[in-house]
Every structure is written in structure tokens, then in C-alpha cells.
Amino acid sequence: MNAPSQASGRGDDAVQTLLLVTTRFPYLPYEEFLETEVPYLAKNFHRLIVVPSCTADAIRPVPDAVTVDVGYARRPRQTIVQKATTLARYPGLLGRALSRAVLRPRAFKRAMAAAWRVATDADWFAEALIRTLRPNETAVVFCWWMTTQVLAVRIAARKARRRVFIISRPQRYDLYIDDGYGASWPFYPEVLRAIDRAFVASKHGRDYIVSLFPWMAPKVEVERLAVEDRGEAPAPAKGSKFVLASCAYLNPVKRVHLLLEALAIVARQHPNLEVQWHHFGDGPLGTALEERARDILPANVAAVFHGRVDNKVILSFYRSTPINVFVNTSSSEGVPVSIMEAQCAGIPVIATAVCGTPELVNDRNGVLLPADPTVEDVAEAIRTAVEDPERWSLKRQQTRLTWSQYSNAALVYSQFANRLAALGRDIN
């Protein structure tokens, strides 16, 4: 990390330094959503230091004001002896891990691994804070995911005697612990206590975490994710082919098989209709789904599996292709950025009523399916889009309006970045 520098003139009461802890960003692939948010953050802080947890050969361009510190990702591996020595310096972590293991003997190995991970992370962040911040300076540390890194940074700040305001944007696996593997983290309650503010993307997310941990209520706020305006998709012409799009990782949670089976039903019911289905995203079920598509889709359906492509390719496809409907059949979500991108393009959305999705999708701008829909439920929604194009042309107007009200990055991220920079008024 860079040495401390002079204030940027953004105001004496504003925090000047933001440390953004990511999984891979700016390295490829994944965390595409940060491409949109980071430039807004960079405009509001004198220094924005991105700390990825791992690196790769390919890297995204970042604004000139952004520094990427790879020291955290490239730490040397520790031997068993070194791990034991590191953990011994943090008896509180060791004690908590052992207490978790006593309650759940099978969790012993996991608890010890988590304790060591927090300890080694705390060591690194303590050194980083000392060389980055002046003794009287406050920084915002933005752990994008609400994981054990939050606890490590809190411990590190005490060790380094530096002031930090720790925030996070928990989305799905690090928020909905019944759904992901957050419940298996031995230090999840400690992570929650260590954080200063959790910014969740939906009211549903806030209500969920407060229902489990009522004492978190003052620390959880709704701050939505957003996407840039890349323009609207051209409206389908009357009597033209029917085009569907979907964008999801191909795993069991996304339930893309429901869309596949439903599309087969609708296409058979309308044998003279030319149908195209474009899916963006890969995953462990990719091969099986492609084989299933070849087996059950009738001749009037062309299924195109694009695999994992750059986000810019998807947005370009939306801008140039008349798309009738975007479909999301997931069993769990935070608030899907893929839905925001479709709505920005003016594409009506069919989606399941899970987590924060109902805050974006409704009967005015698309179809909100049950949380656990049948194939026939999905087929019926698609069928209405096929058989009532005039009604769906009205939904196109509403879906674009939904994006402008809730997911417009120029508004949402500007306000959020301004707020983070002004946190100094509360902490200094």
C-alpha cells in the first residue's frame, strides 16, 4: 500500500482513504458488478486501495486514482508449525474455536482453520494499516463480502492502533445463512459484532438478518446495487421470432432446467413460432443442460449457450437484439444484477419471488412467479408473453421505469460514495 499522502480537498470532515477488500477484483473473472461501483468510489476518496484475496493473469483496467495491493493475495504459505505459532498469538480466537468445537465436535477442523485464517489475516492487515494510515487518520475498510475478513480487520485495527470504520455489502451466501454456508463459519456472530455497518441490497435482506440477530438493527441499512445506463434493447417487431434471454451460473440453485422444460412446452403449443433462447453463464450443470436441450426442445427452438462471457458482451447483445423476455428461475438470490441489467434495457422479466427479487419484479413490469414454481407455472408466464404481445409492450415501459427508480448507478452509487466519504463526520 502507498504511504500516507496529503488531503485531497474533499473536506476536512471527510474520510480520505478507502480500503476495498475483494475476492478477485480487479482480476478476472467474477465480481463484474464492482466495475460499475469502483469509479464512483474513486471520485470520492483521495486514496482508494483495492486488496484482492487472489490474483490472476488477466486484470481489468481501473481508474488512475485506484491502487491495487497484491500483498495480501501473494502471502507465502505457512507450515503447520508457523500456523500454530500464529494462532498462539491470538488466544481469544483459539479459545473461541475450541468452544465451537466442543459444541459441535465434527466442526473442530473447520473451527481451527477459521481461527488460523482470522489470525493470519489480522497480522497482514495490522501491518498494512500501520504503513498506510497516520496514527490520527481514519479509514473506511470496505470488505465487500461479510466474511471472517471483517473480524480480522477489527482485530488488526486494535493491534495497529488505527481507526477504521468497517462496512460490507452482504448479498446471498454471506447474508442468507440458512441458504449458503455462512452458518458453517464458526465466527459469524463475531463478524457481525465487528462490523460498523452492513449495507444490504434489499429490504428483505435487512429484515432477514435483523430477525436472526435483533441487536444488528442499528447497523443494517438498505443500499441498493445498480447498473449503468447502456441503452434500451430494440422492441420486438410484431410477428417476429420470440427471443428469451437468461443469465445465471449453471448450478442447482439457479434451476435453469425449469426454464428449459417450460420452453419446450410452450414451443410445442406454438409449432409455427420461431423461438430463440440465449443463455449466458457456465457452471457444473452446463453440459447436462445442453444435452437435455438437444433432447427435448422441438425443431422451432434454437438454444444458444454462450457460456461465460465478458459482461460487456451481454450488455451489447441486449442493446442490439429484440428480446421479448428475460427469465430468472433461481431458488435464492440477493438482488440479481442480471435482472437490473435486463430492466435497464427495457426487457420485461419473469422471475421467482425469492429474497429481494420481488422488490424489482412485479405484474406491472413482468411476472413474479412463486418462490418454488412448477414447470407449468414458468410455461404459463412465457405463454402470456407469446400470446399477449400488446400487454407485454406496456411491461417494457414499466421495466425501464423500475430501473430508473431503483437501480440507476448514476444516482445510487453517487449517493452511496458521497455518504461513505462523509463518514468522517461521525467517526473523527
Instruction: Please enumerate, as own/partner, the contacts of 70-79 that have beta carbons within 8 Å and a separation of 24 or more.
Output: 71/1, 71/124, 71/128, 72/21, 72/121, 72/124, 72/125, 72/128, 75/120, 75/124, 78/120
Out of 84-93, 120-129, 143-152, 372-381, which region has the weakest mean confidence (pLDDT)?
84-93
Residue 238 pLDDT class (50, 70, 90 cuts): confident
Residue 386 burial (CB count, 10 A): 17
- pLDDT at 415 > cutoff 60: yes
Residue 305 located in a structural domain: yes
Out of 133-137, 304-308, 339-343, 424-428, which region has the weakest mean confidence (pLDDT)?
424-428
Q: What is the DSSP string of 8-23?
A: -SS-TTS--EEEEEES
Residue 422 located in a structural domain: yes
Structure confidence by residue, pLDDT tens digits, 69-112: 999 999 999 998 998 899 889 988 888 887 766 666 667 778 88
Q: What is the pLDDT of residue 381?
A: 97
> Based on the number of CB atoms within 10 Å of its own CB, is 231 exposed (0-12), middle (13-18) or buried (19 or more)?
middle
Q: What is the CATH number of the domain that holds 168?
A: 3.40.50.2000
Residue 65 located in a structural domain: yes
Pairing of strands 66-68, 138-143: unpaired
Indicate if 341 and 292 belong to the same structural domain.
yes
What is the distance between the alpha carbons of residues 372 and 354, in angstroms, rounded to a whole number?
Answer: 9
Q: What is the pLDDT of residue 9?
A: 38
Residue 232 located in a structural domain: no
Indicate if 343 and 329 belong to the same structural domain.
yes
Residue 237 located in a structural domain: no
Residue 13 pLDDT class (50, 70, 90 cuts): low
Residue with cell 441486449: 318
- pLDDT at 7 > cutoff 50: no
The overall average pLDDT reported for the chain is 90
Contacts of 9 (CB under 8 A, 6+ apart): none
What is the distance between the alpha carbons of residues 181 and 175, in angstroms, rounded to a whole number?
Answer: 10
Indicate if 144 and 30 belong to the same structural domain.
yes
Indicate if 331 and 418 belong to the same structural domain.
no
- The residue among 4 and 321 whose pLDDT is bigger is 321
Q: What is the pLDDT of residue 104?
A: 65
Name the nearest CA neighbour of 303 among 324, 279, 325, 273.
279
Indicate if 165 and 59 belong to the same structural domain.
yes
Name the nearest CA neighbour of 178 among 359, 33, 285, 331.
331
- pLDDT at 270 > cutoff 90: yes
Residue 266 located in a structural domain: yes
The cell for 317 is 447483445
Residue 12 burial (CB count, 10 A): 9
Indicate if 253 and 348 belong to the same structural domain.
yes
Q: What is the pLDDT of residue 334?
A: 80
Indicate if 246 and 197 belong to the same structural domain.
no
Indicate if 200 and 86 belong to the same structural domain.
yes
Indicate if 33 and 50 belong to the same structural domain.
yes
Indicate if 213 and 247 belong to the same structural domain.
no
What is the distance between the alpha carbons of residues 317 and 304, in angstroms, rounded to a whole number?
Answer: 13
Structure confidence by residue, pLDDT tens digits, 320-357: 999 999 999 999 888 889 999 999 999 999 999 998 99
On whether the pTM is more than 0.95, the answer is no
Residue 205 located in a structural domain: yes
Structure confidence by residue, pLDDT tens digits, 26-50: 999 889 889 999 999 999 999 999 9
Indicate if 292 and 189 belong to the same structural domain.
no
User: How much is the average pLDDT of 391-415?
Assistant: 94
- pLDDT at 197 > cutoff 90: yes
- pLDDT at 183 > cutoff 60: no
- pLDDT at 5 > cutoff 90: no
Phi, psi (rounded to 5 degrees) for 310: -60, 145
The cell for 5 is 499522502
Domain count for the chain, please give it: 2
Residue 257 located in a structural domain: yes
- pLDDT at 25 > cutoff 80: yes
| Residues 298/267, Cβ–Cβ less than 8 Å | yes
The cell for 401 is 421505469
Indicate if 309 and 321 belong to the same structural domain.
yes
| Residues 292/260, Cβ–Cβ less than 8 Å | yes
- The residue among 268 and 101 whose pLDDT is bigger is 268
Q: What is the pLDDT of residue 6?
A: 35
Residue 187 pLDDT class (50, 70, 90 cuts): confident
Q: Helices (H), strands (E): how many in the chain?
A: 15, 13
- Determine the structural domain holding residue 248 and report its residue range: 242-407
Q: What is the largest CA-CA distance in the chain?
A: 72
- The residue among 29 and 386 whose pLDDT is bigger is 386
